[in-house]
Chain A
Amino acid sequence: MSEAENLVVGANGVAVPHFEHSGEGYRSYEVHQRERVGQSTEKINGAQLASADYAANPYPYLQILRENYPCYRDWINNCYWVTGYDDVTSIFTDEANFETRPKLWYYGLQGFGRDLRNEMPVLWAWSKAMDGFAVPVAEQLIAGFGKGEADLARDFAVQYPIVLLGRMLEIPDDELGTFAVRYWRAQRGVLWYPQAQLAGRQALDELVRYFTPKLAAASDQETSVLAAVAAVGGSAADLVTTLLEADHQTLHGALANLWMNLLIEPVNFDHVKQDHMAMKIAYLETLRHSPPVITAERFARHEVERFGRLIPEGGLMRISALAANRDPRIFADGDRFDVDRRDICHREARGQYRADGLPQGIAFGLGRPSRHPAVPEDRPRSLYALTRDTAVAASWTLAQMLPDLRLRDGTTPVARCLRIGETYACWELPVRF
């Protein structure tokens, strides 16, 4: 920033700032073209994309974008929306031009801690712990259901990832509730809501204080996540950062939406409870049909031309999985939840979003498909595969323990976001068994 003292008076008597500069940072407007009549975007406006109606049911708005404006310039929310399947996946795999900003950035807390998800000992311990607790935690929660009825969203989908994490992090049951509240607040504080930001910031500090003595006293068991964190020199702040970046809401949303989709049409549930592989396919179809994270944010690393537009450096791309996953150019009858869907790949794609010549449903929260082999020898399965296997194991356990599950009469469950930008999930799923 210039100081007032830097001002000099030019030849025409006008004061101008004086800078030593190389000329970088200048752009001629000639490359930024105005919109033409045929490019009008009057079918939607940015305010609708930040409305209560959008939070309740974003799909109609996203459909307008996808079918009319492949790269919609949203002046209200200062971003570009990308909604077609091929466009979305092209950005998601283009790390040269588009960057992800860590959740700590949204808090303005650069340097708070480091993300340990690239530390191999932590990944190994994480995967072993997750595999080991996946079924017992599901059994425990199901055993705690009320007599003959439960709310699968609240009593199972929401709680399962938290209890699983609690077991993995050796948190005693009497401290689990406090941990859950803090963890939930820390994740919500990333977004724009001021009270949530405040509560989230406080929760981060509380989590660090909570884990500090636990890390110091971590056992040396190979499967202990805490021990692995300590072994790589990680601090409590590093662990909290890792938990924040990993979040639990994707697994929660995937479970909630899977069971919502299965129970809305009982024939689907009847099909998957007979066949473990069908349960896995139902999970993949859920990520396609109702992904828990409907948009992800990417920022242009530098000026780049995409989709006929010049995206300026720093430009925010809102790329929508929900819109892309129902793109009729890719998935036939995309609005239908179809556990027998044939135009989706049934194994984890490698590096890109396709395998066996078929597209994959996009689920941002689970990350880009791993570049590593499906069964790597020198590293654990990808977090994508780990989360998928856990969700399928938990759901399979539920289906086997309660094979006569059905929706409570008169209920029509829906998925929605509690606030704009938050997890798209079914929050109320009352069932009888």
Chain B
Amino acid sequence: MDALRDFTAELDTDIHSDDPGGDRDFPLMPVGQAVDMGQAPDGTPLLDPRVLHSREFFRNPYPYYRIMRDHYPCFHDKLHNTYYVTRYEDVWRCYFDDEGFNTIPKGSSSGVLGNTQLELSGVEHRRRRNLYGQHLVGRSLDLRVPSIQRLARQMIDDWDDMLDSGYVFDDGRKRIVELGMAFANEFPVRVVCEVLGFPNEARKQFFYWYNSMMSGLGGSALQKQGLEARQSLEDYVQEIVEERRRKPSYLKDEDGNVIGKDIITKLCETRVDGDYLSTEEITSNIALVVAAGGETTRGAIVNMWYLLLQHPEQFAAVCADTENWNRAFHETLRNSSPIGGQPRHNSHDLEMHGVHVPAGSLMQMVDFSANHDDRVFKDPEKFDIFRPDLYSGKLLRSGYSKEGRCSHMAFGVGPHLCPGAWISHQEAVEGSRILQQRLKNVRIVEDRMAKDIDGKSLAPIGIVRVPALWLEFDRP
């Protein structure tokens, strides 16, 4: 019908469109620059939710988060049925509102890891969290520092035996190592094993379980392997738990003196609301400690070295004063955190920045974005361990926001602040101090590194891990 010519012409455009609305190849952009996804008449940039699972986004996420922060501070992604909260202040407030933004499990980890304290709220959460958390802070943590240092030294010493591994090379004058495979991937898992009181023989198996469970998160093709690993871990831990119930096990210091019962023994003896913890509950939380204590600390160590070695003057500063490793650690987590954020679900209907959010919606608190919010951190994409607006002092569950300095959001804040934050800090800083002592004249082997789209500069970290970090240093 002639009267419908305009209508059918518009239809034809869609029918023959190059963009059928499915997965789209977004072009890879220079870092810091977003793909043009169109604009509203008032100039507001549009945001295509498909970009959020594109390769471009994983390597170059920050310009897209900037669009969200500036124009859609509560972005309703109808494709993925998710609301994104991206401003520092909003994320902060939601994290503290444990009842309004609950943790009922819709996160992709719970299927594999099991029921953990991540999914608890309020009193239930506080009671259980303290059972685990008390072993990872304060004097308990101080007592563990020597063993963290010992493990780091052992791993570096082992490099002499890894010359056939493909991750350590030696030409007689220089040594080349891939920091991830040779150190950072396994170091945190070894520490976790030690803290949990598992025997040395279990380490390799633990590393496999850890890798499989992490790969199986999110309903991926490897989910079955993840579930099998989780079951295998449970079978193993169950035996240990039953054994610890009968016979307590003790932690000892470097001199062989008993410094206390190990965590599993303490968990076995603990009562909550009059009941002993079930083996299932202990296992789930061990699975969480294994999973959460691995990738995050691995990311922190590798990202920190990757960023520092690209800023030689800052690396020189930490070498000159090893206290600066603390600053480097916090700035790394602010600039390139290994964890993107936490899911929350609003318990009640609410309106945020003009967007109505029905109760029970998935609201993704984006730590990545909060850490790059220029309402809080000036020039946020810049890596600067001496930035005056970042709080680098002792980690506080209450967060820090005073006199123009704020804590980063990489560990979250409030009741669910990562209970492993303090031990992760110690692992990354102590491990790095020892690496720094042993790696003389260290530099990145650029020829072996992944490159950015220009084929020359090093690939950005984005929100993915640095796949491999090749370092060269003087042969010891």
* Complex interface bits, B90-130 against A, C-beta within 8 A gives 1, otherwise 0: 00111011111110111010111111100111101010001
23 cross-chain CB contacts under 8 A? A2-B96, A2-B97, A30-B115, A32-B119, A34-B114, A37-B224, A42-B222, A46-B218, A55-B20, A78-B82, A144-B2, A163-B4, A177-B5, A181-B10, A184-B11, A193-B48, A195-B38, A198-B40, A299-B358, A312-B360, A314-B360, A420-B21, A427-B15
* CB pair B4 A177 closer than 8 Å: yes
Interface membership of A162, Cβ < 8 A = yes
Partner of B93, one of A1, A33, A177, A184: A1
User: In the complex, what residues of A have CB within 8 A of residue B119's CB?
Assistant: 29, 32
Which of B's residues lie within 8 Å of A, judged by CB? 1-8, 10-12, 14-15, 17, 20-24, 37-38, 40, 46-50, 53, 76-82, 92-94, 96-102, 104-106, 108, 110-116, 119-122, 124, 126, 130, 218-224, 227-228, 230-231, 284, 345, 347-348, 350, 354-356, 358-362, 396-398, 414-415
* CB pair B7 A37 closer than 8 Å: no
User: In the complex, what residues of A have CB within 8 A of residue B99's CB?
Assistant: 19, 21, 25-26
Interface residue ranges of A407-430 to B (CB < 8 Å): 417-422, 427-428
* CB pair A52 B219 closer than 8 Å: no
Interface membership of A169, Cβ < 8 A = no
Q: What residue in chain B is nearest A297 (Cβ atoms)?
A: B81
* Complex interface bits, A305-316 against B, C-beta within 8 A gives 1, otherwise 0: 000000011111
For the complex, what is the distance from the CA of A3 to the CA of B6, rounded to whole Å?
A: 53
* CB pair B93 A2 closer than 8 Å: yes
Q: What residue in chain B is nearest A35 (Cβ atoms)?
A: B111
Min CB distance A392 to B, Å, is 21
Interface membership of A73, Cβ < 8 A = yes
For the complex, what is the distance from the CA of A171 to the CA of B49, rounded to whole Å?
A: 37
Query: Given the known A-B contacts A158-B11, A195-B46, are A25 and B102 also in contact in the complex, defined by CB atoms under 8 Å?
Result: yes
Query: Given the known A-B contacts A159-B4, A162-B4, A314-B360, are A34 and B102 also in contact in the complex, defined by CB atoms under 8 Å?
Result: no
Interface membership of A433, Cβ < 8 A = no
Interface hub of B3, B79, B111, B348 (most chain A Cβ within 10 A): B3
Q: What residue in chain A is nearest B72 (Cβ atoms)?
A: A194
For the complex, what is the distance from the CA of A418 to the CA of B347, rounded to whole Å?
A: 36
Min CB distance B403 to A, Å, is 15
Among the listed stretches A9-17, A125-133, A329-337, A346-354, which one makes contact with chain B, having 4 or more residues with CB under 8 Å of it?
A9-17
* CB pair B22 A418 closer than 8 Å: no
Q: What residue in chain A is nearest B114 (Cβ atoms)?
A: A34
* CB pair A52 B23 closer than 8 Å: yes
* CB pair A26 B102 closer than 8 Å: yes
**A interface residues, tally (CB under 8 Å):** 91
For the complex, what is the distance from the CA of A415 to the CA of B15, rounded to whole Å?
A: 12
For the complex, what is the distance from the CA of A74 to the CA of B81, rounded to whole Å?
A: 11
User: In the complex, what residues of B have CB within 8 A of residue A77's CB?
Assistant: 79-81
* CB pair B49 A45 closer than 8 Å: no
User: In the complex, what residues of B have CB within 8 A of residue A15's CB?
Assistant: 396-398, 414
Min CB distance A216 to B, Å, is 24
Query: Given the known A-B contacts A50-B23, A192-B78, A314-B345, are A180 and B7 also in contact in the complex, defined by CB atoms under 8 Å?
Result: yes
* CB pair B122 A26 closer than 8 Å: yes
Interface residue ranges of A104-133 to B (CB < 8 Å): 105-106, 108, 110
Q: What residue in chain B is nearest A16 (Cβ atoms)?
A: B415
* CB pair A32 B110 closer than 8 Å: yes
* Complex interface bits, A129-168 against B, C-beta within 8 A gives 1, otherwise 0: 0000000000011001000000000110011001100000
* CB pair A180 B221 closer than 8 Å: no
Nearest first, the 8 closest Cβ-Cβ pairs linking A and B are A314-B360, A52-B22, A419-B21, A15-B398, A40-B224, A180-B7, A192-B78, A313-B360
User: In the complex, what residues of A have CB within 8 A of residue B228's CB?
Assistant: 37
Partner of A47, one of B3, B53, B116, B223: B53
User: In the complex, what residues of B have CB within 8 A of residue A418's CB?
Assistant: 14-15, 17, 20-21
Query: Given the known A-B contacts A1-B100, A32-B119, A163-B4, are A40 and B106 also in contact in the complex, defined by CB atoms under 8 Å?
Result: no
* Complex interface bits, A288-321 against B, C-beta within 8 A gives 1, otherwise 0: 0000000000011000000000001111100000
For the complex, what is the distance from the CA of A421 to the CA of B22, rounded to whole Å?
A: 10
User: In the complex, what residues of B have CB within 8 A of residue A4's CB?
Assistant: 92-93, 96
Q: What residue in chain B is nearest A166 (Cβ atoms)?
A: B3
* CB pair B345 A312 closer than 8 Å: yes
Min CB distance A308 to B, Å, is 14
For the complex, what is the distance from the CA of A4 to the CA of B101, rounded to whole Å?
A: 15
